[in-house]
Amino acid sequence: MTKRNQAVGGYGERCAVRHLIEAGLRPVARNWRSATGEIDIIAWDGPVLAFCEVKTRRTAGFGTPAEAVVRRKAHRLRRLAAEWLTATGTSADEVRFDIVSVLLPRRGRAEIEHVRGAF
């Protein structure tokens, strides 16, 4: 991954966190890593623990950012969520897997779509 792509991704994650907070979610972890992968954002949405995958793109030329979350990525995120719950000793009656799609136009504000319960 190039430094430019890392910068775009980092900016997208900051936009996503801001959006989630404004929507009433309470982030508890960002960029949690294990040997098998990374969870972008973990946040409480009331009593529901949401594991969020953030996808950022500069254009929709290759599809929307959310379309980049394929079955394999969803499966990995589920496995990582179980690892996080075990590692932290956190319990939740309900968990959810969300996608936060961030599109960065050439000018203006980022376009953010939060898909709750995406998979």
The reported pLDDT for the residue numbered 61 is 82
Mean confidence (pLDDT) of the chain:
94
What 8-state DSSP symbol labels residue 19?
H
The owner of tokens 């394999």 is 72
* In the chain, domain spans: 3-115
What is 3-115's CATH topology? Trna Endonuclease; Chain: A, domain 1 (3.40.1350)
Closest by CA position to 39, among listed 112, 111, 102, 100: 100
The reported pLDDT for the residue numbered 7 is 85
Written as one letter, the residue type at 68 is A
Share of the chain above pLDDT 90, in %: 79
The contacts of residue 3 (CB under 8 Å, 6+ apart) are none
User: Is 53 within 8 Å of 70 (Cβ atoms)?
Assistant: no
pTM for this structure? 0.92
Q: Which residue has the higher pLDDT, 15 or 68?
A: 15
The contacts of residue 15 (CB under 8 Å, 6+ apart) are 56, 102, 110, 112
Closest by CA position to 110, among listed 9, 6, 3, 1: 9
